[in-house]
Structure 1
């Protein structure tokens, strides 16, 4: 989670950093060494719980980085790992002195190992696989050791490639239709093996594009990640991508690109964007050259996709010219005026649900993240307020707020969104390592929505999502519904620009940013969601019920702690009959055949996940797949469409939806998915229970007085 904007704390102004830098000349250091020095300085002074620079720190960096380099143990030999182990307990000293001995040596070894295995796959796939041999491959790297010899490593690659080929043979057999040409097993194996080679050709081609700078980014993330899993280094390019992700917007042409041999291929054109409006750039066009304005085009054949993207992006209102190869081979120059592009499915969106069985009109709001623009005014809190106003115009009797899969975002926005449902009051407590807790409050007395509220969460609802769910739960303002618990991320991060650490003394500029965990946040009741998450009031079976997930699965998360509770209360709408609501829901779930199947399937998925040894004999592999297929058939299409629901877009949204056939189609699918979603369906029942059984604790006169005051 990040705070709105990029904030530097007072320690920067104190000269503390600059004094630390005066001990040695930065001119003698490489750019990478200066980055190391900047990161360690920020960590020392600002991280909530900086790891002591000792052997334990070294081991964590070593393990993190080696895992990022070769997580499947398919490149390094054990002897090469042993060679690097001499650094295992000395990385702390290297980091203190801004040395990169371990990084440099590991990179050189990785390049050699990569080239070695690149030769393996090409050689292995030249010869047919014997699919009658009874053998297995272990797919869980944690259960394996690194190969002790090149022969052993090559054999591991043979098994990996054979596994992929066996999969493809079976797919081809199952895809055969009546009337298709009958192929022999040898012919099927040959086609499958060629498909495997094409896949690995593309994979190795993409890996070849990686630069040493990309590996340095990974190493810096191993260093920052030794303090906690949410502290990371961001190169300038990665920071730009992060800002786009957080804002849901970018300035460019509105096209999704990928690498295709020497070219950059257009995968799709974003509806409503500049390229879409121009009607000239199309899916499957191959970009050969890029020109800025009237300048000479730059030949980008053979470039990395992200470098081509950087060239195409630019300020709104500026012109970019693309020389593209059309599918028929014709070369064409296309001029596009860049503009702001909204990334689909990034923003708050609402629907009106009329439940004919319950005879209720309910609002549904999907919030994908707590977004904000770094340099703009688009904010999730502002959009949420607008969605609530639109729903109120439709006279909804209750609202479902869907935070499933919402990873978090802006802290200030979650405070403002909480304030839409309550009068003024505390929302969350935030504590730095040496300070008393700071209380983030909603200071606006106005309540945007004062009716029944159900909040949907799951294991992937994290950070800001957990703050909102926890606050509404503590206030008794909403019923929280979902999986066993939310993600369990109870920490706050901020970005710090590394150039600021040197106050103009660095010989390099644009060093990137470091995102650091600088605070923990606590519920208004004094508890924390760190590791434990928010436990819903009503827990529903889901696909991950029997799997360990979330913050507690990381290697080195911060501990769970608690602080003193605050005084808090709200008189808007209080769920004062929670036990009754739970009983009503539990009865429905127990009687639901669909929820029963979901629970069964969750256990099946856990058992499948635990299996990691796969047969490579075609007959044995086919039996295993047939068994799994038969087991899965029971759970296929178990979610029926609820025909009692009428789901509609709000009138204010229709113009945006109807600009393109793809948006219209996507919207229709979204409506069908809402009608099939058993969690939304149960949330509708819970909203109905609130309406039918609940007694309001607010005083109507008080609320009217507040509204009069605001008006």
Structure 2
């Protein structure tokens, strides 16, 4: 078995060249030629056996699992319930409790039959949408007071073709209206949507047996957990490339989000992050090679979009994205040009700064070490090079330099750190504790392996805080959790990502299976899975945790706990947490950045709850203008509180990114970092007062 801990991977590095067939195909009456092969039957039996024997949970393959597979497969194929008819689902219902038997027996036909019906329904719907477009966008009536239900996850299945026609008529009106509000004219909208639907029809005709098999087996595999996944031979090759980081790309992790491909996170110091124009939860709607024509990718599979994005070092790719910061119905997009390149290890290296703060009439100097990733130059290490780069070696050197500068305390900044080397998380922990366990790994058989720091001595003994956010994941959570469990540091910021599972790659006769076979636990016995690390004092979230994070994934394994391996008698922070929290809340109640973050998140959560949109243009434009004005008011309130000139309109992201690049904020101007320093100083002040009182007694 070739094993890889996907929780400690730096990222999937994306990029490559591909051509897209845009010619409209002759419509097919059926897809009966799509039939399972002998290799696929054998692979499916192997997947069943591997999950039975090696998955962490080993849940039974029974009627209950069958029903779950059935529901997952329908949701995977038709998440918005816009293709299948109620009669289709009723016809499939006879198999609801039989998929466990089908899979054990290598019977793939029911899965193929459902997929073939989905292809037929897709063809009908796309053809219908094209027929509406042929009548002309300019002839659509946007004065009617109609509404479209956009949150259709639990909507009833359409009872007949007429209901689906009406739904798709409204869906098309919604797409046209979004593009009109985004500034496109009727002619360009008609061209764009005609090309989009024609392209999707063309790609239906290119469907292969492998597409069917991968979807069906993944409906089964991902009923166990979201990280257990079947990889086709082609996708297995892509996965190996991504894991080894041997191919240059844009440095981003992507996932499907209904018809869109969404950015999950960015590789620190990667090409996408360097643009400062791409953020988690942004949606990619177009990809272009160099200066070639933009290819619309709405409705494409994730692997197809990845193929367009991947490419050789030095080549340019342009992405058309809809920013996550847009209002829910705002389809305005921007184009970001990215030069593909390898992520250089030195660009991910830990960096230091000094945060200078006035506190209680005295000036304090706090060291700040930003760690973008947990990195280790394995190649140099294996070659026996004495000066190989690693997170721990770099942090040790930075600590030496900061202590020579007489710092009063330390803040470790792990914001947006998506993980990396598990070994480095353990060794870095060892710099701050005397000796002992750092993380526990519980295997499927119940055995618990203990990773530990065996070196006596603490490299840095001074006061410290660890700053995290929702995008701090995996190795970051292991380190932050250890610092919290050993009561070595105050953990501040946002609830972390929550990925606490370990995956392994098992080769099959046809493709590969990535399966979850272990879980991470903190030395206190608490899992990092699902819940992540909860800060001692929380800051406003920078992203909506219902959209980004392990808990946002379907079938995510739950949080739990096991027996702890350390007992730390006294928590020096606990007696002061209430007072520290009260001071923090009082200090940030009127802080411009904190107020803005809270209000922006509240607005986003309010808008997400809107399940319908108006198809009346006047009403829709008025609502859009209202939302944009509220966003502008929030932005200007923050700017005015900082003594900056207010904006007449919201800056586009490109302009904002250029401003941010030119400003190069000082540590004191980073509100969350500065507040972390103040909390640490509050603790030192309170702790010192108690110590002085006790010494007098």
Length-normalised TM-score, structure 2: 0.70
TM-superposed deviation, 1:78: 2.3
**What CA distance in whole angstroms lies between the structure 1 residues aligned with 2:391 and 2:559?**
33
460-469 vs 360-369, which deviates more?
360-369
Aligned partner of 1:486 among 492, 496, 511: 496
Indicate whether 1:355 and 2:356 are aligned.
Answer: yes
TM-superposed deviation, 1:619: 1.1
Change (3 A) 1:581 1:381: farther
**Which residue of 2 is the match for residue 33 of structure 1?**
41
**Which residue of 2 is the match for residue 453 of structure 1?**
464
Question: Given that residues 8 and 475 in structure 2 are in contact (C-alpha distance below 8 angstroms), is that contact kept between their aligned partners in structure 1?
Answer: no
TM-superposed deviation, 1:533: 3.1
Aligned partner of 1:227 among 221, 224, 228: 224
49-58 vs 366-375, which deviates more?
366-375
Question: Given that residues 81 and 153 in structure 2 are in contact (C-alpha distance below 8 angstroms), is that contact kept between their aligned partners in structure 1?
Answer: no
TM-superposed deviation, 1:100: 1.0
**Which residue of 2 is the match for residue 284 of structure 1?**
290
TM-superposed deviation, 1:149: 2.3
**Which residue of 1 is the match for residue 146 of structure 2?**
135
Question: Given that residues 524 and 568 in structure 1 are in contact (C-alpha distance below 8 angstroms), is that contact kept between their aligned partners in structure 2?
Answer: no
Indicate whether 1:497 and 2:494 are aligned.
Answer: no
CA RMSD of aligned residues (A): 4.5
**What CA distance in whole angstroms lies between the structure 2 residues aligned with 1:544 and 1:143?**
25
Question: Given that residues 642 and 676 in structure 1 are in contact (C-alpha distance below 8 angstroms), is that contact kept between their aligned partners in structure 2?
Answer: no
**Which residue of 2 is the match for residue 525 of structure 1?**
524
Q: Where do 1:153-552 residues align within 5 Å?
A: 153-172=164-183, 188-200=185-197, 211-246=208-243, 249-251=245-247, 284=290, 341-342=342-343, 347-355=348-356, 359-370=363-374, 382-390=390-398, 392-394=400-402, 395=405, 397-445=408-456, 447-483=458-494, 485-490=495-500, 492-499=501-508, 508=509, 511-542=510-541, 550-552=549-551
**What CA distance in whole angstroms lies between the structure 2 residues aligned with 1:220 and 1:449?**
50
- Deviation track 1:29-54 (CA, whole Å, cap 9, x = no partner) reads 72212221222222111112122111
Question: Given that residues 228 and 556 in structure 1 are in contact (C-alpha distance below 8 angstroms), is that contact kept between their aligned partners in structure 2?
Answer: yes
**Which residue of 2 is the match for residue 685 of structure 1?**
678
Change (3 A) 1:252 1:594: closer
Aligned partner of 1:98 among 88, 101, 106: 106
TM-superposed deviation, 1:143: 3.9
- Deviation track 1:532-565 (CA, whole Å, cap 9, x = no partner) reads 4322100122356795874445443434433222
TM-superposed deviation, 1:90: 0.9
Indicate whether 1:636 and 2:635 are aligned.
Answer: yes
Change (3 A) 1:580 1:146: same
SS in 2 for 1:341: coil
SS in 2 for 1:250: coil
Aligned partner of 2:129 among 116, 121, 131: 121
Query: How many residues in Structure 1 have an aligned counterpart in Structure 2?
Result: 573
Change (3 A) 1:207 1:568: farther
TM-superposed deviation, 1:75: 2.4
Question: Given that residues 531 and 551 in structure 1 are in contact (C-alpha distance below 8 angstroms), is that contact kept between their aligned partners in structure 2?
Answer: yes
TM-superposed deviation, 1:665: 7.3
TM-superposed deviation, 1:232: 1.7
Question: Given that residues 353 and 363 in structure 1 are in contact (C-alpha distance below 8 angstroms), is that contact kept between their aligned partners in structure 2?
Answer: yes
Unaligned stretches of 5+ residues in structure 2: 10-35, 253-269, 273-287, 294-302, 318-339, 644-656, 691-697
**What CA distance in whole angstroms lies between the structure 2 residues aligned with 1:197 and 1:674?**
50
SS in 2 for 1:598: helix
**Which residue of 2 is the match for residue 58 of structure 1?**
66
**What CA distance in whole angstroms lies between the structure 1 residues aligned with 2:674 and 2:611?**
36
**What CA distance in whole angstroms lies between the structure 2 residues aligned with 1:558 and 1:495?**
16
**Which residue of 1 is the match for residue 87 of structure 2?**
79
Question: Given that residues 464 and 488 in structure 2 are in contact (C-alpha distance below 8 angstroms), is that contact kept between their aligned partners in structure 1?
Answer: yes
TM-superposed deviation, 1:72: 1.7
**Which residue of 1 is the match for residue 618 of structure 2?**
619
Length-normalised TM-score, structure 1: 0.69
Question: Given that residues 348 and 384 in structure 1 are in contact (C-alpha distance below 8 angstroms), is that contact kept between their aligned partners in structure 2?
Answer: no
- Deviation track 1:84-116 (CA, whole Å, cap 9, x = no partner) reads 222221111111112212221122112222222
Question: Given that residues 222 and 228 in structure 2 are in contact (C-alpha distance below 8 angstroms), is that contact kept between their aligned partners in structure 1?
Answer: yes
- Deviation track 1:549-607 (CA, whole Å, cap 9, x = no partner) reads 74445443434433222235599998985555434323312343542343333332222
Change (3 A) 1:191 1:239: closer
149-158 vs 381-390, which deviates more?
381-390
**What CA distance in whole angstroms lies between the structure 1 residues aligned with 2:601 and 2:290?**
39
Indicate whether 1:596 and 2:595 are aligned.
Answer: yes
TM-superposed deviation, 1:530: 3.8
Change (3 A) 1:68 1:367: farther
SS in 1 for 2:466: strand
**What CA distance in whole angstroms lies between the structure 1 residues aligned with 2:443 and 2:588?**
42
SS in 2 for 1:122: helix
Question: Given that residues 345 and 375 in structure 2 are in contact (C-alpha distance below 8 angstroms), is that contact kept between their aligned partners in structure 1?
Answer: no
**Which residue of 2 is the match for residue 558 of structure 1?**
557
TM-superposed deviation, 1:445: 2.9
SS in 2 for 1:401: strand
SS in 2 for 1:151: helix
**What CA distance in whole angstroms lies between the structure 1 residues aligned with 2:660 and 2:346?**
10
66-75 vs 370-379, which deviates more?
370-379
Change (3 A) 1:232 1:673: farther
TM-superposed deviation, 1:455: 1.8
**What CA distance in whole angstroms lies between the structure 2 residues aligned with 1:255 and 1:529?**
25
**What CA distance in whole angstroms lies between the structure 1 residues aligned with 2:452 and 2:675?**
32
**What CA distance in whole angstroms lies between the structure 2 residues aligned with 1:518 and 1:51?**
13
Unaligned stretches of 5+ residues in structure 1: 6-27, 174-187, 257-268, 272-281, 288-302, 315-319, 325-338, 500-507, 645-663, 698-711
**What CA distance in whole angstroms lies between the structure 2 residues aligned with 1:570 and 1:204?**
65
**What CA distance in whole angstroms lies between the structure 1 residues aligned with 2:631 and 2:39?**
53
Q: Which has the larger radius of gyration?
A: 1
Question: Given that residues 498 and 533 in structure 2 are in contact (C-alpha distance below 8 angstroms), is that contact kept between their aligned partners in structure 1?
Answer: yes
SS in 1 for 2:589: helix
